[in-house]
Amino acid sequence: MLVLVANLGSTSFKYRLFEMAEDGALDDLSDATCLARGAVERIGDAESKCTVQIGDWSDELTMAVPDHGVAVETCLTQLTHEQHGAIEDASQVAAIGFKAVHGGRISGVFVVDDEVLEAMAEMNAAAPAHNPPYIAAMKTLRARFPDLPLVAAFETDFHQTIPAARKEYAIPRQWSDEFHIRKWGFHGASHRYIAFRSAEILGRNDARVISCHLGGSSSITAIRDRQSVQTTMGMTPQTGLPQNNRVGDFDPFALPLIIERTGLSLDETLKTLASQGGLLGLSGRSGDIRDIEQAADEGDAQSQLALDVFIEELRRHLGGMLVALGGADAIVFTGGIGENDQRIRQGVCQGLEELGIRIDSDANETLRQQAGESGEASFHADDSKTQLWVIPTNEEVIVARQTIHAIKSR
């Protein structure tokens, strides 16, 4: 079965085309074959960039792409290229799966219908950068391809197993009951993949695993029996760890003071926190960890402070995950920072010997060489009770499998 997995932005459409067995178990990812990947950038501009990679062949087009419906049509045209195409006809695609973000009162995997779109719209204020473009694209695609099933796999789904005592805010009961204000958690597809893959590596499904998804946005999740039991993100993807330009955890009672002193409106203040906070705000230079590390090495004190804050927040939340699990069998680093930044991994893991965590600093520094094509490698000392791993995530293959299950059970 062929599934197109879509990752949307307000002006972008990134995708992968997977071939998977129809009858595979939800946690069986071994049969997944990525046939192609591509992207359409600058949707709505006079000149949009459309790229595709199929095996050794790649193609790039520059054309006007007014909306996401045309973006899908363009990608299907590239996928059915006469000489190099991954498929013969667009009708072979069984469904499009979306790595959707926030459904509020609905959390799971659903074939997109009016109720799903309505639930997503109710959460626009909580996910303003994600929900509106997904809703607009889904509406366009439903109208353009009425016979092609669309599936929303919500990022919050994996965290439904978190106990209530770890999900509730200490707020008036009415707010949580009527407005669905609680700690939902995100990056669900990534943490689910790490749960499944780490179980395979460790050879046990009951392992206690701490998944550190560190990248442009970051979160940590505690996993037991391949299920989420604690996570750092809360009501929105803006919370938890400081991120590239998102503030992370922040005292809401500071908002009146900021508004009073700056003259900004509440909306303007929130947009500032969501776009100029995080590592960008701390360093005053960039939200990219590579730029910050370079500046710190050149003696910039603010950039060094940004690195120190990021590492300290990672360690603080890691401690909470260790308590929630009663220890850990493995700590896994994934995402762009987690997979590639040995300095951050070293900073997080050093000095934790009393907790049974011993890092092999040499293995950490040479990890990319030893990881090979898979990108997977360990960097714990031989006498460490807790294993330390880098495992590249694969959110898209999770969404592909969820999509197949959703359309089969419809």
217 Cβ neighbours under 8 A, 6+ residues apart: 187, 237, 243, 244, 246
Cα separation, 377 vs 375, whole angstroms? 7
Residue 253 reports pLDDT greater than 90: yes
Residue 404 annotated as binding site = no
The tens digit of pLDDT for each residue in 49-108 reads 999 999 999 999 899 999 888 888 888 888 999 899 999 988 899 999 999 999 999 999
Residues 6+ apart with CB under 8 A from 55: 84
What is 203-395's CATH topology? Nucleotidyltransferase; domain 5 (3.30.420)
Q: Is 336 annotated as a binding residue?
A: yes
End-to-end CA distance of the chain: 16
Let me know: does 80 contact 87? Beta carbons within 8 Å: yes
Q: What is the pLDDT of residues 277-309, one digit of tens each?
A: 999 999 999 999 999 999 999 999 999 999 999
268 among the known binding-site residues?
no
User: With bands split at pLDDT 50, 70 and 90, how would you rate the model's confidence at 381?
Assistant: very high
C-alpha to C-alpha distance for 231 and 321, rounded to whole angstroms: 8
Phi, psi dihedral angles at 10 (to 5 degrees):
-65, -30
Taking CA atoms, 273 is separated from 214, 269, 307, in Å, by 19, 6, 18
Which two three-digit tokens encode residue 252? Answer: 């809401």
Res 10 pLDDT > 80? no
- 397, 18 contact by CB (below 8 A): yes
In this prediction, residue 370 carries a pLDDT of: 85
pLDDT at 24: 84
Q: Show the beta-strand stretches assigned E in 64-207.
A: 93-98, 109-111, 150-153
In degrees rounded to 5, what are phi and psi of residue 126? Answer: -85, -25
Residue 152 has pLDDT above 80, yes or no: yes
Question: Whats the size of the chain, residue-wise?
Answer: 410
φ, ψ for residue 158, nearest 5 deg: -60, -25
**Rounded mean pLDDT of 269-282?**
96
Lowest-pLDDT range, 9-18, 178-187, 283-292?
9-18
Report the pLDDT value the prediction gives residue 49, as an integer from 0 to 100.
94
Q: Is 139 annotated as a binding residue?
A: no
pLDDT-derived band at 373, boundaries 50, 70, 90: confident
340 in a labelled binding site: yes
- Residue 179 clears pLDDT 90, i.e. is over it: yes
How high is the pLDDT of residue 285? 95
Q: Which residues of 227-248 are buried (b: 16+ CB within 10 A; e: fewer)?
A: ebbbbbbbbbbbbbbbbbbbbb
Closest CA to 212 of 340, 56, 53: 340
Q: What are phi and psi of 395, to 5 degrees?
A: -65, -35
| 289 labelled ligand-binding | yes
What confidence category does residue 383 fall into, taking pLDDT thresholds of 50, 70 and 90?
very high
* pLDDT, tens digit, 9 for 90 and up, residues 193-222: 999 999 999 999 999 999 999 999 999 999
Asked if 194 contacts 393 with a C-beta cutoff of 8 angstroms, the reply is: yes
Across the chain, mean pLDDT equals 95
Place of tokens 């701490």: 210
The fold adopted by the segment(s) 2-154 is Nucleotidyltransferase; domain 5 (3.30.420)
List pLDDT tens digits, range 129-141.
Answer: 889 989 988 998 8
Q: What is the percent of the chain where pLDDT is above 90? A: 85
Residues of the chain with CATH 3.30.420.40: 2-154, 203-395
Q: How confident is the model at residue 144 (pLDDT cuts 50, 70, 90)?
A: confident
Rounded CA gap, 233 and 265, in Å? Answer: 25
- If you average pLDDT over residues 329-333, what whole number do you get? 98
338 appears as a binding residue in the annotation:
yes
Q: What is the C-alpha to C-alpha distance for residues 35 and 271, in angstroms, rounded to an integer?
A: 38
339 is in an annotated binding site: yes
Residue whose tokens read 């879509």? 6
Percent of the chain having pLDDT more than 70?
100
The structure tokens 């030893």 sit at 370
